[in-house]
Amino acid sequence: MASLFKLTFLGTGGSWPSPGRAMPSIALQVDSIVNLIDCGEGTQKQLMKSQLSFMDIDNVFISHFHGDHFLGLLGLVQSMSFNDRQKPLNIFCPEMGSRILSNALSVGYYRLNFDIIVREIEPGQTYDLGEFEFSAMKTDHPVPAYAYRFREKDLVRIDRAKVDELGVPDRIIETIRRNGTAEHGGKTYTLDQISGGIRKGRILVYSGDTRPMPEKMSEFARNADVFIHESTTDSSLEPKVNEFGHTSSRQAAEIALKAKVKRLFLFHYSPRVSDLRLLEKEARSIFNESYLSRELLEYSIPFDRSGAANGNP
């Protein structure tokens, strides 16, 4: 299990950029694995303003192929190539992604030095990426679109007192954790002998773009440590927002409450919304643990509320 499970919001706007708001993109670090969730226009510049390097990205998860969620890939990939990237880049996406990306990423003259592995994801399946696993759910949007659920693997805690009592050498502990057993000095040690219980992995759920899906989304986001739900405007524009396949801050908060998540981040604000405090106020009146995401906000997801790191909002 990872010790780092950290978000960096790179862009939080929707539709088109404005001077103070970048297009949707969130970095999720799981220890040394750097994941990008959506990659709107300008994401590479936002990465340069953050603590992360655009060269370190391992996996990109695209929620859907509306331009505000993927156009940043074109520039990002070309910059990676300029900087002599060698390691492959994985892109996970909804159906039709292979065709759309093979067209989009062949725009202009440049030479690709590394492999891009595009994988169209099946909703409902769980995919194992080593330190964590993820699954997708189809959302209610005018084009094929996914919400993603990322789950860190559970970890067996090691009980130091038991280790000392049995005289288990430190250097074989990771082997025992991994294989369930290890031999040393003619003795066999098992995980049960040194286990101090299970530490549950942390969960992040990202809605992508969607109309409100109170039943399905709250089931998909059940008990998440962090739930990032799109919140295009406040409730005064709800009929229009819903008509175009989006959700209001009021509706996002109701889903968060129903899902029993620990914390909600509002995300994907319409460029027409200038005062975000209204969205936060509205969401908090329903679900108290509602927060605004904003450009370059970092949040290390704690194991529980009491373990929140300093500097977290």
User: 70: burial class by Cβ within 10 Å (0-12, 13-18, 19+)?
Assistant: buried
Over the window 192 to 231, marking each residue x when it contacts Zn ion by CB under 5 A and - when it does not, the resulting string is -----------------x----------------------
End-to-end C-alpha distance for the chain, whole angstroms: 25
- Shortest approach of Zn ion to residue 139 CB, angstroms? 9
Q: Which is nearer to Zn ion, 18 or 193 (CB)?
A: 18
Q: Which is nearer to Zn ion, 35 or 247 (CB)?
A: 247
| C-beta of residue 204 within 8 angstroms of C-beta of residue 150 | yes
68 binds Zn ion (CB under 5 A): yes
The amino acid sitting at 135 is S
Q: Which is nearer to Zn ion, 66 or 229 (CB)?
A: 66
Q: How far apart are CA 136 and CA 115, in angstroms?
A: 24
- Shortest approach of Zn ion to residue 89 CB, angstroms? 22
Q: Which is nearer to Zn ion, 11 or 14 (CB)?
A: 14
Q: Which is nearer to Zn ion, 80 or 136 (CB)?
A: 136
CA angle centred on 46, ends 233 and 12, rounded to 5°: 10
- Shortest approach of Zn ion to residue 244 CB, angstroms? 9
Whether residue 164 lies in the annotated active site: no
Q: How far apart are CA 298 and CA 313, in angstroms?
A: 9
238 binds Zn ion (CB under 5 A): no
- Shortest approach of Zn ion to residue 122 CB, angstroms? 21
CA dihedral sign of residues 33, 27, 1, 217: negative
- From residue 165, alpha-carbon distances to 72, 171, 189, 194, 256 in Å are 55, 16, 12, 9, 45
- Shortest approach of Zn ion to residue 147 CB, angstroms? 12
Residues 6+ apart with CB under 8 A from 2: 30, 31, 33, 131, 132, 152, 153
Q: Which is nearer to Zn ion, 209 or 280 (CB)?
A: 209
66 binds Zn ion (CB under 5 A): yes
Q: Which of 38, 56, 68, 84 is catalytic?
A: 68
94 binds Zn ion (CB under 5 A): no
Determine the 3-state secondary structure of 18 from DSSP.
Answer: strand
Residues 6+ apart with CB under 8 A from 292: 265, 266, 276, 277, 279, 280
Part in contact with Zn ion (CB under 5 A); list of ranges 64-72, 82-90, 132-140, 210-218: 64-72
H helices, E strands: number in the chain = 11, 18
Total chain residues near Zn ion (CB under 5 A) = 4
14 binds Zn ion (CB under 5 A): yes
Part in contact with Zn ion (CB under 5 A); list of ranges 7-15, 27-35, 166-174, 269-277: 7-15
- Shortest approach of Zn ion to residue 78 CB, angstroms? 23
Active site residues: 68
Binding residues vs Zn ion (CB under 5 A)? 14, 66, 68, 209
